[in-house]
């Protein structure tokens, strides 16, 4: 059996604020919404992929004021380096959002929180594989080539630093 990732469901305190962040900042589209059952809270389905009905859903039923503690973060891959840099700029102007740019050698990532302190990561794959776990802060204002040069300079001596395609070609499932 091969499992592929489909979606996650978040409990929200302030669904309006959360939907504003996920649609206007991260570019998700609301694909459906409605009550789970009679007199039950509404569930809202969101997707950023036209081939997926939903990648996330939200139910306004969260009562606690603390950050969620059962999931560290949700990660999203982007196809273009510039998307990471652009999102970093966009997030920098939003009150309450904390950004942590971190590279694992195999990715250039930004970690951040949503308005209810759920952890998120948006990353772009570098052309290399690097043995994990590890991470080093990086400067998301660098251009693409400068960022790739930085990754190579900072990770090429690490165990398992090989071209990404070679790693996956040799990987045994």
- Mean pLDDT on 154-171: 88
Of 6-10, 149-153, 156-160, the range with the highest mean pLDDT is: 149-153
Can you give the residue ranges of every domain in the chain? 1-62, 72-173
Spelled out in words, what is the top-level CATH class assigned to the domain 1-62? Answer: alpha beta
Domain 1-62 shares a fold with domain 72-173: no
Tokens of 99: 């950004």
- Mean pLDDT on 148-163: 94
Three-state DSSP string of the chain: CCCCCCCEEEEECCHHHHHHHHHHHCCCEEEEEEECCCCCCEEEEEECCCCCCCCEEEEECCCCCCCCCCCCCEEEECCCHHHHHHHHHHHHCCCCCCEEEEECCCEEEEEEECCCCCEEEEEEECCEECCCCCCEECCCCCCHHHHHHHHHHHHCCCCCCEEHHHHHHHCCC
- Name the nearest CA neighbour of 114 among 97, 99, 102: 97
Q: What is the pLDDT of residues 66-124, one digit of tens each?
A: 766 667 889 999 999 999 999 999 999 899 999 999 999 999 999 999 999 989 999 99
Q: Could you tell me if 10 and 21 are in contact, meaning their C-beta atoms sit under 8 angstroms apart?
A: no
Spelled out in words, what is the top-level CATH class assigned to the domain 72-173? Answer: alpha beta
**Residue 3: is its pLDDT beyond 60?**
no
Q: 4-13, 24-33, 51-60, 122-131: lowest mean pLDDT where?
A: 4-13
- Mean pLDDT on 27-35: 94
């Amino acid at each position: 059996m091969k499992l592929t990732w489909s979606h996650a469901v978040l409990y929200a305190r302030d669904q309006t604020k959360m939907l504003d962040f996920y649609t206007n900042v991260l570019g998700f589209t609301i694909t459906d919404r409605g009550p789970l059952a009679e007199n039950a809270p509404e569930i809202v389905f969101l997707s950023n992929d036209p081939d997926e009905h939903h990648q996330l859903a939200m139910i306004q039923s969260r009562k606690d004021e603390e950050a969620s503690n059962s999931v560290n973060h949700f990660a999203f891959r982007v196809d273009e380096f510039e998307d990471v840099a652009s999102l970093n700029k966009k997030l920098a102007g939003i009150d309450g959002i904390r950004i942590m740019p971190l590279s694992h050698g195999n990715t250039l990532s930004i970690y951040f929180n949503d308005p209810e302190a759920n952890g998120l990561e948006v990353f772009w794959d570098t052309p290399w594989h690097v043995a994990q776990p590890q991470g080093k802060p990086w400067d998301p204002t660098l251009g693409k080539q400068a960022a790739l040069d930085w990754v190579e300079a900072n990770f090429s001596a690490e165990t398992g630093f090989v071209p990404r395609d070679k790693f996956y070609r040799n990987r045994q499932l």
